Structure 1
Amino acid sequence: AEAALSPSFANNHHPQPDRYGFYSDTPGNSVASPSSTLASGATSSSRSRSEAVEIIRRREKKWLDMLNNWAKVIAKDYQLVRERCRKGIPDSVRPKVWFHLCGAFYINRDDPDLYRKCMTKVPNERTADEIERDLERQFPHHELFMQPDGHGQQALRRVLRAYAGAFPDVGYCQAMAPLAGALLLHMPESDTFYTVYILFDKYMRGYFRPGLDAVQVDGQILYGLLKRLNQPIYKHLVKYKVEPLHFMVDWFMCLYVRTLPWPTLLRVWDVYFCEGVKIVFRVAIALVTAVLGSSAQRRRLRSFEDTLDSLRRLPASATQAAVLLPAALKLQLSAADFEREHQKQFRLFNLRKLARQQQVQEQQEAAV
């Protein structure tokens, strides 16, 4: 069966997807048009298109050379890899680079039958139903997912069911679908599974377990870093009782898939797969600063509702890669700063959790 088209498509007999596969004239689609960017940070504003294409080709060759000697390069020249990731990975090699950066390449090499084995594990009925309900919500305006139960949805179903069935202690969470779906837009199905496997186990460990303890801790880490970097912003959030979980859950759990324009998202993920979770915090701080950074902005947002609404409706200018990435990467935060804040907030979280458990126990004993 053919995919149902939106009314805007009906007015255009030959709609064309943008360079990422999205139909960008669809209402509500935040993806930039094909002409807005060339490839991962290269634009045609200051150079002719032919010069820009040549630059991209040279960058592609550099990445291919690194991939051909990956173990040696990543061990001896990580700083070069990081620098090139921050510049943006060319579209043509991005899937393969991500696959190597996150370590999925090694999992696949050491256990090439892992996906096939996991596909034999059947999730429980409730989990399977949850996955099924979420399939049609993922990227409905992308050519891969537009057709109901088409190739995209079928592949996403297999990946999510395989993971949930093989790891029932983690199971399935709604935030997994956009992450796996985003990877499927760039990778073959098998590569997507291996990347999902290491993403959920290594990069996002604890994020999808009941209680979302890891997300809560990261929310407090975010506020701790904000307090250190920008006291006025931190005080504003505290004054109007805006908690981190009010706005950062979707940012962190979906890694900005539902937040940023696609070209910007890819640039953030380029850094994420290389440097890890620190870029997620950096981007969050940069976004909050774009909304609350000036005293004039804060004066206009004099309530909980206004402040939260502004954080949920980010200005388009703040989410462009050319603005957001430099703002995030220039923040004066070291690895030691992140580790120190993590240790502090993890300790405080556990103390609060223990206190709540003791309180519940005392109440239960008093009721007997």
Structure 2
Amino acid sequence: MDEIPSWRKVRIIKRIYKDRLPNDVRSAFWKYCLQLEEKECLKEYEEYSNKLLPQEESTQIDKDVNRTIRYHQFYKDRYGEGQCKLFRVLKAYANYNSETRYTQGMSTIAGILLIYIPEEHLAFGALKELFSRYKLNNWYANGLDGLQKEVFPTLEKLISKYLPKLHHHLYKILAQGMALEHYCGLFITNWFLELFFDSLPWPLMLKVWDTFLWFGNPALYSIALALLEALEAHLLSLNDFSALVKELKNTGDFKGDQKKLLKRAFKFAIDEKQLEKIKAKVTH
């Protein structure tokens, strides 16, 4: 996607914000963003889905599948088509990714992919791309070490720059109060690991995915800043540790203006160069 002019990216993302994409359009859009190759995905999926998993890992995947997006029609039946598909995709990916293997949280990502990319081999390919080209593997690996060392301090630097009053407030109540190095760890883990699943209403979460798949990781930071800005006035009124954490961890029923939030995220326009400069400072 690097060869696409920035002005065209702007037009496409504005359309995403304005309109609700039909499922078939979203499916095609995600496949395009992820640059999925039919033959390659099928070949690799057949290879890795036919390999056996250690019993303990297989059992864990099965347990997690049974907890994944159960309210959605596709996954409501135990051992129904949706759950079986999800198990097979996760099994194949665990065999493929010998470094991280299967980690909790992956089932949600794969579960959402399968709803909009129902072909198992393509959903497997999509999961591969998210963890490699979109670098989710960096966050999941080594007990979420990358998330803690990269995402937490980077987002806090951005909050201190764009939302200084809120940063001071959160740092004072959450970090100093509990002697924590990074207050972000109290609430953003699922925002990034599960790409805002259950942290935003479903239609808004899908638009976040659309934006993320088009712009990459910087979009998640922009969305996080926009969400915090939308909640800022209320958060500043809370001076109790538990109340603050509760509000920050229960954003799934966000009742603010969704279009305004997305437009504001777009205006933050965090880019890869900006992230790399911050990461270089906070990780060394």
Q: TM-score, normalised by structure 2?
A: 0.88
Unaligned runs of 5+ in 1: 1-72, 348-368
* Gap change, CA 1:227 and 1:265, over 3 Å in 2: same
Show the counterpart of 1:313.
250
Q: Secondary structure at the match of 1:255?
A: coil
Q: Is the 8 A contact 1:221 1:345 kept in 2?
A: yes
Q: Which residue, out of 181, 194, 209, partners 1:254? A: 194
Distance 2:199 2:226 in 1: 13
Q: Is the 8 A contact 2:218 2:271 kept in 1?
A: no
Show the counterpart of 2:152.
219
Show the counterpart of 2:127.
196
Residue 161 of structure 1, CA deviation: 0.5
Q: Is the 8 A contact 1:267 1:321 kept in 2?
A: no
Alignment of 1:276-291 (within 5 A): 276-291=216-231
Q: Which residue, out of 70, 84, 99, partners 1:154? A: 84
Distance 1:239 1:309 in 2: 16
Q: Is the 8 A contact 2:222 2:269 kept in 1?
A: no
Superposed CA deviations along residues 305-350 of structure 1, whole A, max 9, x for unmatched, are 11111111226223x5313211211126444322211111221xxx
Residue 122 of structure 1, CA deviation: 2.0
> Which is greater in Rg?
1
Q: Secondary structure at the match of 1:240?
A: helix
Residue 86 of structure 1, CA deviation: 3.9
* Gap change, CA 1:332 and 1:212, over 3 Å in 2: same
Distance 1:335 1:208 in 2: 20
Distance 1:298 1:100 in 2: 38
Alignment of 1:18-97 (within 5 A): 75-77=3-5, 79-88=7-16, 90-91=21-22, 92-97=24-29
Q: Which residue, out of 337, 345, 366, partners 2:274? A: 337
Q: Which residue, out of 240, 243, 251, partners 1:303? A: 240
Residue 82 of structure 1, CA deviation: 4.6
Show the counterpart of 1:166.
96
Distance 2:147 2:4 in 1: 33
Q: Secondary structure at the match of 1:330?
A: helix
Unaligned runs of 5+ in 2: 176-182
Show the counterpart of 2:55.
125
Distance 2:87 2:110 in 1: 10
Larger helix proportion of the pair: 2
* Gap change, CA 1:291 and 1:90, over 3 Å in 2: closer
Q: Secondary structure at the match of 1:245?
A: helix
Residue 79 of structure 1, CA deviation: 3.6
Superposed CA deviations along residues 95-129 of structure 1, whole A, max 9, x for unmatched, are 122112122x24x4446411100112222222111
Residue 145 (structure 1) aligned with residue 83 (structure 2):
no
Residue 180 (structure 1) aligned with residue 118 (structure 2):
no
Which consecutive segments of 4 or more residues in structure 1 shift more than 4 A?
Answer: none
The aligned amino acid for 1:138 is T
Q: Is the 8 A contact 1:170 1:209 kept in 2?
A: yes
Show the counterpart of 1:328.
265
Superposed CA deviations along residues 135-182 of structure 1, whole A, max 9, x for unmatched, are 111121211111110000000000000111222321111110011000
Residue 299 of structure 1, CA deviation: 4.8
Show the counterpart of 1:54.
none
The aligned amino acid for 1:130 is Q
Distance 1:336 1:299 in 2: 31
Q: Is the 8 A contact 2:223 2:262 kept in 1?
A: yes
Q: Is the 8 A contact 2:41 2:124 kept in 1?
A: no
The aligned amino acid for 1:196 is L
Q: Is the 8 A contact 1:86 1:267 kept in 2?
A: no
Q: Secondary structure at the match of 2:281?
A: helix
Q: RMSD in angstroms over aligned alpha carbons?
A: 2.0
Show the counterpart of 1:45.
none
Aligned residues: 269
